[in-house]
Each structure stands twice: as structure tokens, then as C-alpha cells.
Structure 1
Amino acid sequence: MRSRRDEMPLSVIQVIGNSVIGGAERHLLDLVQGLGRSGAEVEVICPRPGPLTQHLAKLGVPVQCIEMVYPWPGDEYVLDSKAVQALAVVFGEKRPDVVHSHLYPAHLHASLAAQEVGIPAIVHTAHTIIVRPGDVLLSHTTAARTIAVSQAAARQLEEAGVPPERIEVIYNGVGPEHFEDESEEIERTRAALNLGPGPTIGTVARLSREKGIDILLRAMQRVVPSFPGVTVLVTGDGPQAAELHQLADELGLHETVRFLSARTDIRVLNRLLDAFVLPSREEACPMALLEAMAAGRAAVATRVGGTPEVVTDPIEGWLVPPDDPEALAQGLLLLLENPTRRAEMGTAAQRKVARQFTLDRMVHETLSFYQRLLGDAPRPP
């Protein structure tokens, strides 16, 4: 007898532990749309209303809110039984084939709820290289499987105690829009930002310590004397925003650095750049870097986490040590002083992303992973 799973479209509930839009959230948006194009029925659960829920609503994706994020000192989170039960009620009513969580608070609650209800495939994507005790515990107490977005993230999980057979490496991917060069829109944005004739450097990041924007500011203090007309575009919001604004002023960079807050036109902003910079202290598989590379931008990035799996030094850009303003400045100066080499690196970067880091590849591999898990799961009568 054919089962519902044979006859009905694949049903997936994505659960994410944030409602703003950063790298993990852009990944989710891309995945949701890609799965939808493949014929899957996809719904999303967020902790609360915010930019992400608004974007999902515009896309016509069913979304609801269940609060599940309860921070605890030491970068930990509290397990809330009411959130687990609320999620279990939804999963029990919807009976999806797959529950897929993103970010630790969602994993903590959704994986337990899915296990309680008996969801056939339970998946979590590890978007960072931070592994908490709860990640390891859930890998042993539930059927959850973890997607690591880089080999570096997979190694961290395995070294912490997650069984290797429960880890699948699927790299992030970017959509075709990031490869497109829409000249009119680019020139409109250039005019709106009133960019001068000097070079433009940019980064896209959450304004928090792990992203190393303070190191970028200190590096720029060393770059400006050689390129006094340089402009730095810092796109993103976060808890360090006020502190970083103050640091830029203290370093005399108020005319050099533009803080743009969060924006939805990243693909256009990347086309305005002469070079992209990623000064992070930790990364798993940086979406912002992939998007800039897809736009043909050479990068200076820190040699952390999965970043060396994205950028090969010195083919697509330069890799420098983290927390080293001098090394970061030297990398930026090398790019700015050598436009021919910079263009060659940008071309190589774009080709690499087109070859290895596309959205279609990421969606296909994720869908295949779901189907593999469902093939191993007990089938209903």
C-alpha cells in the first residue's frame, strides 16, 4: 500500500531562533524559496514578529511565532517547557515530514518537540562554529541530524562529541541574483550614497564582537594615509552599534566610515565595492563573503573557521590572522594598490562561487538529505 509520504508533497516546517535578517536568516529565506520551487510545502516558525516574518509574509510563506529564545549568562539559553509543548502542538497538528531548525534556541526546543511527536526527519543546521553542551546532548537523546555548513564546523561538532554519522556537510549557497550586474540600479544607489571618486571598501555583518568590525576600524586608520579618499561601507545592525560609532569617531574616521544599518539591497551594494573585507573572529561559512564573491569582488578575510574553505589565498583574495589590524590593513592596501590583481582575484572569486557555492546546489543537497533520512525512517501504514 502506498503511504501518504509517497503520494503527498514533501512537508517541511523550518524553525529559526531569530526574527531579524542576518546570514542564517538569509540562508533560511533562500532555502524556503528553493524548497518551494521543488514542490515542497514549507512553513516557518519564528520566535516573534520582525523583519524576517515580514519578508516571509511578502513571499507568501506561512509563518507563525512561538517565543523560544531565553538567554542565560555565558552565551547559553534556557530550555522552556512551554515553548517545547507549543511547538509539539503545532507539529502534532501539521504532521510534517521534516522539522528543520536553525540557530541553537530553535534546535533546543524544536528537536525535542519533534522527537516527542515522532516526526520522521529531524534536522538542524549549525550556522556557527560554536558548539554548546546542548548540541551534543541532543545528538544523543533525539533523532536529530546536524547539517554543518563547512568542514571546519563539522570538525568542531565531532570534537565536542556529536557522532560523525549524525553530521552532514552542506555548504551555503547564493542565488543567481548575486551574479547579476544591474547597472542602472547600481548607479542610482551610488548617487544616493553620494560616493566620491576614491575607492570603496565594504563589509556586511551583525555589529557584534565576533564579527571584528573594531579590528576593521583600527585597520582603516592605517589605510587612510595612503588612500585619503577611501570610503568604508559597514552594513548591518547589532548590539555593538553605538560602541563602534564611537570608536570610529575616536579614530578620526567619521568621514571615512558609513554605517548603513541593515539593508535588503546587498547585491547592489556589493557591486559598488572595490574590495570586500571580512574581519571576523569566527565564521562557519560566511554568506556575506559568498555574496560579495558572486559579485566578482576580491576579498581580504580572516583565516578563521570555514573561511579558508571559501577563499584560497592568494587566488580569490587574501587571508590574514584575526585580531590583527596591521595584517588586515596590509591586505587591503595590497588590493587597493593593485587594481589588475584585484580584478583577477574578483573574477576567480566569482567563478569559484558559480562552481561550488550556488543556491541550487545547496537546495538540491538539502532536499536529498531530507529524502535520505525519510528513506531510513519508519514508514506509516
Structure 2
Amino acid sequence: MDRRQFFRKATTTGIGVAASAAVTAPLAIPLATPALAQDNPKINWRMTSSFPKSLDIIFGAGNEIAQIVNEATDGNFTIQTFAAGELVPGLQAADAVADGTVEMAHTCSYYYIGQDPAFALGTAIPFGLNARMTNAWFQNGGNALINEFLAPRGLYALPAGNSGTQMGGWFRKEIVTIDDLKGLKMRIAGLAGQVMSKVGVTPQQIAGGDVYAALEKGTIDATEFVGPYDDEKLGFVKVAKYYYYPAWWEGGPAMHAFFNLEKFNGLPKHYQAILKAACASANTSMLANYDARNAVALRKLVAEGAILKPFSKDIMETCFKAAMDVYAGLSEKSPSFKKIYDHQQAFKKDAYLWTQVAEYSYDTFMIMQQRNGTL
């Protein structure tokens, strides 16, 4: 007898809940087991990260995704995570997903701007959105545009982390004017490298695990990375003392979980939903963890000799103008960049209209209380 027909008949004939359960118990096992096996297939995936295990917050986001998926499927859907270099180099993670070497990756889309500058808009661009605005933009059409761009490349992406506004990086010498940047070799990723080159910097793209050695050996003169928590773990203060802020090139840089589009579409719908929920959890956790730990790490770095400096207004304004020139040129060359960039710019104007009314005015007042010692 069909189970639904049985329960309808049980209800109309007045069988109670306990009696119904007792009567149907022998039938439930043989009927339910094949359905569960079909609905929850055994699937084993591999995820490659663009980050080393030492960056526990960023690399940990991939582990969080894997853990949630495993627990939500009772171990039927497992994802094995690999650090940068264990399967493929960190800056080739998305390529490995596209060609089917692995099913997914945890990476930054701006690592792949060599293929198309539109990739940068999935992570961060100079003088772009902050972290909160980035997440709002993703939720309101931004990530749909990113996936529209990625689909022909066999990729699908979900936001899976944000560091918040980063630090401007470590420099061997003091940077007072825009001229002090000229001739520097600096590790810097994404479109920021193109902007920096306009003001005389020679940009270098180096994977996270190789940055310290390059700075120590003098292969580079400066590096940006993430922020105090990661920078303190990587020991940059030992080889460069001047620590600048803010990273105007990364106001709210996002990381994504990249999926092989065919593999993702082939998952059961509830597995897809679980993956989306897991990525959303990792996205929230990463920003919260950085917000909680950066202040403590910053105090340690200053105690160890870091000289904290803001970029001058002159440097900020000159770089802003250079960035606008870069975007104008890229919009002419890449239709994909122009489409996504224009959408993001329109969103940013409204976002800052609201931010200056509420968040900025509130935070400014509270910061003054902290400086006055009343907090």
C-alpha cells in the first residue's frame, strides 16, 4: 500500500498517532531505505585552496564549508581540503576547477585578471566597496552578474569570506610623498597592481606562502597582504618596519568558493542548498574572526617595532585618479568589466549615501569617545 494512502486511510478511520506509528513501523524500513540512498548519494569532492594552512582564518573557511556539508549530510557528501601547492599552485586554483582537476576551490577571483579584468570585481578593486557593501551588492544582483560572467568558463561561485578593509602593507622605507613609491617592487594583486604601476611601482604577484621569503631576500621592497592578524603570524615586521594603512585597493575583499559548473549542477538540489548555506556561514565567520583578532595583533606588532603610518592625502588622491583612468581604459576593452563595474558603481553611490547618514556618524562619535578615554 502506498504510504500516503495508508496515512490518509488511518486518519479517516480514527487510528491514533501511537497506533499509526506502531502499525506502519514494519513498513517504514523497507520503503524508506531505498529513497534515502537515492536522495543522499555518496559524493566525495576535493577542494584546493589558494592559501597556506598557516593562515588559519582564511584557510579555515574552506574547512568550515567541508565540515558543515559533512555534518548536514550525515557524512554522505564529503569534501577534502588541500592547501595551496598540495594539489595545484595557489594562483591556479580556479583553473583547476574549470578543467575538472578538482571539483571546487577556495580562492580570490582577482588572481585571474590575466584572463579578463572582470575577474577583479568578484574580489575587490581600488577604491571600491567595503566589506558590508560588498556583501550587500552580492545579495542584490552583484554575484548573479559574477556568475553570468563565469558560466562560459565552466565555473560557478558563492561568496565564502571577507577580510574587511586591509592594511596598506609593509615597506622597507618611509613613504611620505607619491615620489617615494617610484621604483619600488611591491607584491600586490589584482587591478591594484595596474594602478600602482601608474605611479611608478613595479607590481609583483606572489602567492601568500612565498611573500615573506621574497621580502626577506630583497626580491621585493614592499608587500601588502591582509591585516594585523595574518601579518603578525607571517612575521613581516622582522623584515620591514613601516606599516601603512589603509589598503585603498581592498576596502572589502571577498573570497569565493568556486565550483565546476557541471559538477555543481549535477548535485541533488538539497546538496546544492547545503553548500550555499555552508558558504554563507564561512562568509560571516571570516569577517567576524578578523574583526575580533586584528586589534590584539596590531598591539603586538607595534610592540615588536612596527611603525604605524597612514598614507598621505596626496598619495590617496593621486592613486584615486590613477584608478579612475584604469577603469576607463578597461571599460573600453572589456564589455564584461564595464557591465559589472557600472552596476557596482551605481550601487556604491547609494551605499555611501546611507553609510554617511548612519554608520559613519555613529562610528565617528564612538571613536571620539574612545580617544577621550570615556569608553
Q: Larger relative CO (CA 8 A, sep 6+): 1 or 2?
A: 2
TM-score computed with the length of structure 2 as normaliser: 0.33
Which protein has the larger Cα radius of gyration, Structure 1 or Structure 2?
2
